[in-house]
Structure 1
Amino acid sequence: MRRKRITSLVLSVCLIVGSAVQGGAATTQEKISNAKAQQQANQSSLQQTQEKIQELESKKGESETYLADLNTQLNDLRSSLEKLQNDYDAKQEELTQLQSDLEDAKADEAQQYEAMKLRIRYMYENSASNYMNLLFESGSISDFLNQAENISQMSKYDRDMLDTYKETKEAIQTKEEQVAQEKEDIMALQQESADKQAAVEELVEATYQQIREYQEDIQSQQTAENDLLTKISSQEDAINNLLRQAKEEEAAARLAAQQAAAEKAAQEAAAKEAAEKKAAEEAAAKKAAQQKAAQQAASATEKKQNTTSTSTTTSKSDSSTTDTTIDTSKGKYLGRFKLTAYCSCSICCGKWSGGGTASGTTPTPGRTIAMAGVPFGTKLSINGQIYTVEDRGTAYGHVDIFMGSHSEALGFGMKYADVYQVN
């Protein structure tokens, strides 16, 4: 029955009855009070430590979320840099090709220019004889005109080709400048992305370091938490031992008082019996004296009869006590314990609702009880019913009885009863 908080342990300290032996009880109570104060101080430290752990876990979670965002940004930047590198390589290949094309165009231009110069020189050097040859060799004026047109078309072709190569060269140069500018732009973007990546990588490293520090702080606080839990558990055991000691002192005091009362009653009975015997003897002696006097009076006068009768009446006064008698035949007397009840619902057991007991058994009405300070399996006799300690949650001296329903647990309320250990 793990729903009970440690505060129930503190409340159970109040169960110690003031009728215990004064010297020992006062010492035990003082020890309980000191142990309780130490436990409360550790509980306060534990709460602060747990709050610190929650705060660190929250900050660590925020840093991890931020780190995930940074990693996403970093991946995006790396993808962007990779794309820019691919673009840069493509532009470099394009620029290389353009430069090659430009060199080819320049070579073609030079070759065409040289051929054209040769034709022009030939035409100017042999223009007169050429035209005369064309005139005499032509079969007709029409043939002459055709030959002249061919020469004209050849010259025009040379001029057109020269213009074309010039345009091609200019276009290639323009494209080369454009690609070179695009290449520079890509390099600038690469540098910008690289700078961003470096900045994000620094943030990633700083965030990683922050998370590591949070984790180290959390581990340190968890170590402190475990130490405090160990101390609190040890103090709980110590308090239960002190409570058991106080109950034993109380039980011993009650047994001693009961024995003293029995001895006193026996002494009073013996004294009363002796007094009654003495009174009877005195009455008998008085009666004998009266008889003797009567005989003397009878001898003095025969006519006079004197009868004497005496009677004695004794009254007995019995005293009874309303105090409950300790019956040691039921087992070892542990003391007068506080009784409550619980069930397996979420109200009674919280997050452990519907589960088994702390000892691993299935809680059963009429059998299962919860109490600290004794081993699991300890059998206790309470109001004539035998129960087995199978659960925890209450301090020694406070028995929680398992019920089949929450209404039964509520209806049970809170009681007190003498408790005996059977085994």
Structure 2
Amino acid sequence: MKKKVLAMSLAVALGCAQVMVVGADTIDEVKQQKEQTSSQLANTKAQINALESKKSQLTGEINDLDAKLVTTIASVNELKDSIAKKEAEIEETKVKLEAAEKDRDQQYSDMKKRIQYLYENGGNGAWATTLLENGNISDMLGNVKQTQDLYDYDEKKLTEYANVVQEVEDLGKKLDDDKTELLDLKEGQEEEQKSLENLLEQKRASSSDYDNQIASANQKASEYQNLIGQQNEKIQELVEEQQRQAAAEEAARKAAEDAAAQVSNNTEETSSVSNAGSGSNTSTSAKPTANTNSGSSNGGSAGTTKPAKNNNSSNGSGSSSNKNNSKPTNNSGNSKPANNSGNSKPAPSTGSGSGSAIVSYATQFIGNPYVWGGNSLTGGTDCSGFVHLVYAHFGYDVARQSGALQSAGRGVSYAEAQPGDIICYSGHVAIYMGGGAIVHASNSKPYPAGGIKITSNAAYQPIVAVRRVIG
């Protein structure tokens, strides 16, 4: 449920983060838009990282479930093989039982015929005649002994055949019980397989949803990236336009100054020409003895006054851009509540225990229910949980999974098994009680609907390993 809420919130966040278009006219406005786009891009990348992290975690869970599913399927197949072997043994035992019963019935019929013959042809009168007619007491006793031996032989053979029949019947019953136990285990493994397959389907659907969200977020990030490129281009265009305007203004100003200077020069030249000195020049012809006075008056003044040239070039091309890249602090509050597992173990009694003490403690819980994944000896647990909790009571730290228990302690042969040893099967574990019996948490339906129970035959299915944790 939490993952669905997260996925929906991310989808809403991505949907609301619309990509803007470049629609500003000034550099400052475009830069402000670019800052907003960069912030949205950073948020989108953070969302992508969060999605990929969740997907990575989910992928790990899927891989673990795949491994468990493979183990469970292998256990189911092994149990199917064991069931097939038991069925073959049961059929073979039925054939033996039929033969034993036939031999017993035939022997019984033959004995009845012999008894009937003796009584019909002898009886008490025949014995008396034998005693009177036979003068040799030794012969008479020999005949009597022979008859008695015949009776004893018949009785012995009949008893032997009856015992054989009983043994075959007991074997057939035992095989039937073993088959029932195997069928129950197979059914439990198949239920676990179905549960794992359903869980895997859900996880894979969630992973696919994460893929879709990541693809959508990447698309959004690409759009933001493209928008930032467009905004950079827009900023460059505005800067170039501003530079062109400044250059045009400078060119216009210089042209105006040149024109003013030209006008001033033209005025100076005109003034010089008009003020050039043209005065009176008189020439008198007189006699040689006469005095000739020639006076010439040249008055000319040329004055060209230029106004002071004030060349104050004012270039108004200036831009002041103060960037305030202040972004709200992104405090990701991915705080999770503490994960307090309620799988509390029983408090250890002495910190150690003998095999017989472990068996004695384990048998206290016979009749309590079987719950797959449960962790309570009274409220319900499964096979590996039962072994784990019983050993934990005595301070022994053993694994919680049946597969991992195959490596607990040290290995011994089944012939060396002692009370308290762990008997490992394919997908199942039990505690050895001694005398060929085990106590275990089984999902066997006849008892009465699965639970902690005793099975008298520890080898009712192939034993994978015997592990000794004590001593």
Deviation of the 1:316 alpha carbon: 9.7
| Structural mapping, 1:10-409, within 5 Å | 30-126=25-121, 128=126, 154-275=150-271, 277=272, 282=275, 284-285=277-278, 288=279
Aligned partners of 2:33 and 2:114: how far apart in 1?
Answer: 118
Q: Please tell me the residue identity of whatever aligns with 1:179.
A: L
Deviation of the 1:109 alpha carbon: 0.9
Q: Note if contact 2:97-2:165 (Cα within 8 Å) is conserved in structure 1.
A: yes
Aligned partners of 1:117 and 1:62: how far apart in 2?
Answer: 81
Deviation of the 1:148 alpha carbon: 7.2
Q: Please tell me the residue identity of whatever aligns with 1:237.
A: E
Deviation of the 1:66 alpha carbon: 0.9
Taking structure 1 as reference, are residues 264 and 316 closer, same or farther at Cα in structure 2, changes over 3 Å only?
closer
Q: Please tell me the residue identity of whatever aligns with 2:39.
A: S
Q: Cα deviations across residues 112-138 of structure 1 (Å, max 9, x unaligned)?
A: 1111222233344446579959x98x9
Deviation of the 1:111 alpha carbon: 0.9
Higher helix share: 1
- TM-score with structure 2 setting the length: 0.50
Deviation of the 1:266 alpha carbon: 3.0
Q: Cα deviations across residues 54-82 of structure 1 (Å, max 9, x unaligned)?
A: 21121112112211111111111111111
- TM-score with structure 1 setting the length: 0.55
Taking structure 1 as reference, are residues 162 and 181 closer, same or farther at Cα in structure 2, changes over 3 Å only?
same
Aligned partners of 2:24 and 2:162: how far apart in 1?
Answer: 114
Taking structure 1 as reference, are residues 224 and 36 closer, same or farther at Cα in structure 2, changes over 3 Å only?
same
Secondary structure at the counterpart of residue 284 of structure 1: coil
Deviation of the 1:83 alpha carbon: 1.2
Aligned partners of 1:124 and 1:320: how far apart in 2?
Answer: 167
Q: Please tell me the residue identity of whatever aligns with 2:56.
A: G
Q: Please tell me the residue identity of whatever aligns with 1:222.
A: N
Q: Please tell me the residue identity of whatever aligns with 2:260.
A: K
1:13 alignment partner in structure 2? none
Taking structure 1 as reference, are residues 188 and 310 closer, same or farther at Cα in structure 2, changes over 3 Å only?
same
Deviation of the 1:210 alpha carbon: 0.8
Which of 314-323 and 239-248 deviates more?
314-323
Aligned partners of 1:211 and 1:235: how far apart in 2?
Answer: 36
Determine what percentage of the aligned residue pairs are the same residue.
Answer: 23
Q: Cα deviations across residues 315-349 of structure 1 (Å, max 9, x unaligned)?
A: 999989899xxxxxxxxxxx99xxxxxxxxxxxxx
Q: Cα deviations across residues 165-205 of structure 1 (Å, max 9, x unaligned)?
A: 22222222222222122122112212221221222122111
Aligned partners of 1:206 and 1:130: how far apart in 2?
Answer: 95
Aligned partners of 2:243 and 2:140: how far apart in 1?
Answer: 147
Name which structure has the greater RCO, CA cutoff 8 Å, separation 6+: 1
- List alignment gaps of at least 5 residues for structure 2: 1-22, 283-290, 319-471
Which of 222-231 and 175-184 deviates more?
222-231
Aligned residues: 283
Taking structure 1 as reference, are residues 39 and 217 closer, same or farther at Cα in structure 2, changes over 3 Å only?
same
Taking structure 1 as reference, are residues 183 and 148 closer, same or farther at Cα in structure 2, changes over 3 Å only?
same
Aligned partners of 1:153 and 1:29: how far apart in 2?
Answer: 127
Aligned-pair RMSD on alpha carbons? Answer: 4.5
Q: Please tell me the residue identity of whatever aligns with 1:186.
A: L
Q: Note if contact 2:268-2:304 (Cα within 8 Å) is conserved in structure 1.
A: no
